[in-house]
Amino acid sequence: MNVFVTGSTGLIGRAVSARLRSEGHTVTPLVRGTPKAREVQWSPGKTLDPAVLASADAVIHLAGKNVATRWTPEEKKELYESRVAGTKTISDAVAEAFRRTGKPTVLISASAIGYYGNRGDEVLTEESAPGSGFLHDICVAWEGAAQSAKDAGVRVVHPRIGVVLSKDGGALAQMLPIFKLGAGGRLSGGRQWWSWISIHDIVGAMMFALNNVQVSGPVNFTGPYPVTNAAFTKVLGMVLHRPTLFPVPRFALHIAMGKEAAEETALGSLRVLPKRLLDYGYQFQHADLREALHNVVN
């Protein structure tokens, strides 16, 4: 297959692109800067010529500004538009290309478990109602921006991605230096649920969704056994053989991240299960947190 990928230089994009190439597929990165050989330029919010996608069998859309910032009004606007406008640009081009040529047949367009909002101890699946909050608003609009591809008859998958475990990026990469020094600890009371997934299973689930025509719509990309932040902290300390005696107070997170961002990310509680992945028959490489952390860290 020839798979066009946006966000190919990001944490997930790099890993997915490497896996595709290792299996003999062609990866065509969609880039916003000056394209190099075998790259195609695009610009979120601007029309993308559907002819560009004439050779695409599939499109994996992962581009979007990192939410791990202070959410000023200007930053929130950029976070929103980078996802919604970008997805509409890709979706419209995919839809028109499919009408003209019958390709690409699948669009995997990323989303996030922020769709469900901060829900405490409630167990959440793809059938759960949406929540509230800024991340929820982004995710609803983000998924909705792919409607044109759905209307054209393209199979569209929305991976709702949880906390990705990788030493190369994301939350874990930021935590590791602190925990390796023995200065790590739970965040506030640690009662908030973290729905984690290893980078290996993110890639595995992406490939599974790409290759299985029955997979469509929203699919939770999380491990089958979410844990509280306190439990996550304890297991990470065990894997690194370090104490975890220094909890981070809520007010400190508010100061460091801004209150709204802290409450919806580090302190948000999302107990999400990958019901549809399991129903489709995906087999997790790392269902156990300790095994996953050991594999990722070491």
Compute the average pLDDT of residues 200-213: 98
Compute the average pLDDT of residues 68-87: 95
Q: What is the pLDDT of residues 57-69, one digit of tens each?
A: 999 999 999 998 8
Beta-carbon contacts of residue 45 (< 8 Å; ≥ 6 apart): 81, 85, 86, 88, 89
Q: Give the pLDDT confidence score for residue 106 in this predicted structure.
A: 98
Compute the average pLDDT of residues 93-118: 98
Of the pLDDT bands very low, low, confident and very high (cuts 50, 70, 90), residue 122 is: very high
The residue whose two tokens read 């601007």 is 46
Angle at 43 between CA 41 and CA 47, to 5 degrees: 100
Beta-carbon contacts of residue 183 (< 8 Å; ≥ 6 apart): 246
Q: How many Cβ atoms sit within 10 Å of the Cβ of residue 14?
A: 19
Compute the average pLDDT of residues 85-113: 98
Q: Give the pLDDT confidence score for residue 17 in this predicted structure.
A: 98
Q: Give the pLDDT confidence score for residue 188 in this predicted structure.
A: 97
Stated pTM of the model: 0.96
Domains and CATH numbers, the chain: 2-297 (3.40.50.720)
Share of the chain above pLDDT 90, in %: 98
Structure letter (DSSP) for residue 6: E
Q: Give the pLDDT confidence score for residue 298 in this predicted structure.
A: 85
**137, two tokens:** 């608003």
User: CA separation (Å) from 287 to 169, 198, 292?
Assistant: 20, 9, 7
Q: What is the pLDDT of residues 137-187, one digit of tens each?
A: 999 999 999 999 999 999 999 999 999 999 999 999 999 999 999 999 999
CB–CB of 8/59 below 8 Å?
no
**94, two tokens:** 């995919």
Q: What is the pLDDT of residues 7-61, one digit of tens each?
A: 999 999 999 999 999 999 999 999 999 999 999 999 999 999 999 999 999 999 9
Of the pLDDT bands very low, low, confident and very high (cuts 50, 70, 90), residue 251 is: very high
Q: How many Cβ atoms sit within 10 Å of the Cβ of residue 275?
A: 18
Mean pLDDT of the chain: 97
Rounded Cα distance between 276 and 285, Å, is 16
Pairing of strands 163-165, 196-198: parallel
**92, two tokens:** 């419209």
Compute the average pLDDT of residues 276-286: 98
